[in-house]
Amino acid sequence: MFRLPPRLLRSAAPWARFSSTDALSTLKPARTRFAPSPTGYLHLGSLRTALFNYLLAKRTGGQFLLRIEDTDKKRTVEGAEKSLFETLRWAGLQWDEGPEVGGPYGPYRQSERSALHQEHARQLITTGHAYRCFCKPERLQALAVARKRANLPTDYDRTCHSIAASESASRAAAGESHVVRLKAPDQYPGFHDVVYGHITFTENARAHSLGSFEDPILLKSDGLPTYHLANVVDDHHMQITHVCRATEWMPSTPKHVHLYNCFGWTPPEFVHVGLLQNAQRGKLSKRNGDVFVSEYREKGYLASALNNFVALLGWSHEQTSDVMSLKDMVERFNTERLTPGNTVVNFEKLDFLQKHHVRETVGAGGAAAEEIFEVVVKQVSETYGDK
Ligand code: GLU
């Protein structure tokens, strides 16, 4: 049984769905985004996220955006961005707006948008929703140790919240190192999720009464935003209508909705999809099969088969056959049939789909069929020699 992240409670019925029977002309064009951090190769789960976003945008005649979330410089991996572009294009998921193609809401790399993020952090300080924190890492560390020893929650004690606005501004202007923290409310707002229904977040009031405040960092001491601030500001400014991502991001969503409220913006619709799991209900890992898209590609799997395979991990349809091209999936995609809960990946299904996609591609002839012949010839000669 799928369990919601511990601090989330589920209630009420699904909302804001559309089904495959809705006429395309009645659907409002969706602006969706795939927002990877360039930390490594694209894995199956991310391909599925990108694909769902692509399908939702194309099904409704909207736009699919690619946004690179590269504000955590320590985690950024050299070459990851390039390989990401390459793999998405191989999969046929060309973005309408994003790096290398541009668009009206760029730049599409978050590291190039920090002036906008800083401006919004300042706005939150002015409106009292955020504050500068000048505490040194050593103080925070000592605080956490002391609170742990006293069996108290170890979050921040909000010391810097009491610094007068004028002093805070002049210390920042004098170059004193600081971060900007969100002033967490006693209760984050609930939100509607297209797949999971109404989600409410466990309140913070108890921890607050014990002098412990989560107060997440929005802007780091290097002036770069954290995920929460950058994600919300960019989704808003890029006019994203649907945020479709894995449930691992669901615990962040109440914070995001709170930020939307602080700014006075309307949040997008949230579409969370469960995680991919192995047969033991654990995380997909190398031990259970390949996890990177590039590995499947190298083995000769067709992009059409892999897309078809990942689409069926958490989405179902009303057709008699599971074999679908990207075009078929665009025509049939609906959020109504995204299933709540995590999905166990059955790799045998991939081989079944591959067989069908190879047959169809070879039958259609042309360059794609030639490519398959080349792979077959290469594999035969590698296995049996050239003669
Ligand atoms: N940068 C996040 C990631 O790496 C994006 C999560 C989201 O879609 O909001 O997946």
- Whether 220 is catalytic is no
For the chain, where are the alpha helices, taking DSSP H only?
44-59, 80-90, 114-126, 137-149, 165-173, 205-209, 227-237, 253-263, 293-298, 303-311, 326-332, 347-364, 366-384
Give distance in angstroms: CA of 173 to centre of ligand 1: 32
Atom of ligand 1 nearest to the CA of 35: 5
Q: According to the model, what pLDDT value does residue 376 have? A: 85
pTM for this structure?
Answer: 0.91
Closest C-alpha to 200, from 12, 3, 2, 342: 12
Percentage of the chain beyond pLDDT 90 is: 77
In a domain? residue 330? no
Is the pLDDT reported for residue 11 higher than 50?
Answer: no
- Percent of the chain topping pLDDT 70: 93
Hey, which of 50-54, 150-154, 336-340, 365-369 has the most confident mean pLDDT?
A: 50-54
Residue 31 to residue 238: CA distance in whole angstroms:
8
* Residues in a beta bridge with 291: none
Instruction: Give the model's pLDDT for residue 23.
Output: 58
Whether residue 60 is contained in a domain is answered as yes
Ligand 1 interacting residues, C-beta cut-off 6 A: 35-37, 69, 231, 245, 249
Please state the domain count of the chain.
1
CATH of the domain at 106: 3.40.50.620
Q: Which two structure tokens, joined as six digits, stand for 10?
A: 């589920």
Quickly state the pLDDT bin for 137 (edges 50, 70, 90). very high
Task: Please report whether residue 1 resides in a domain.
Answer: no
Ligand 1 centroid to residue 35 C-alpha, Å: 5
Q: Whose CA is nearest to atom 10 of ligand 1?
A: 36
Residue 226, domain member (yes or no): yes
- Would you state the structure tokens that stand for residue 350, as one six-digit string? 């991939």
DSSP 8-state assignment for residue 266 = P
CA of 37 to the centre of ligand 1 (A): 7
- Residue range(s) defining the domain that contains residue 201: 17-276
Whether 380 is covered by a domain: the verdict is no
300 domain-assigned:
no
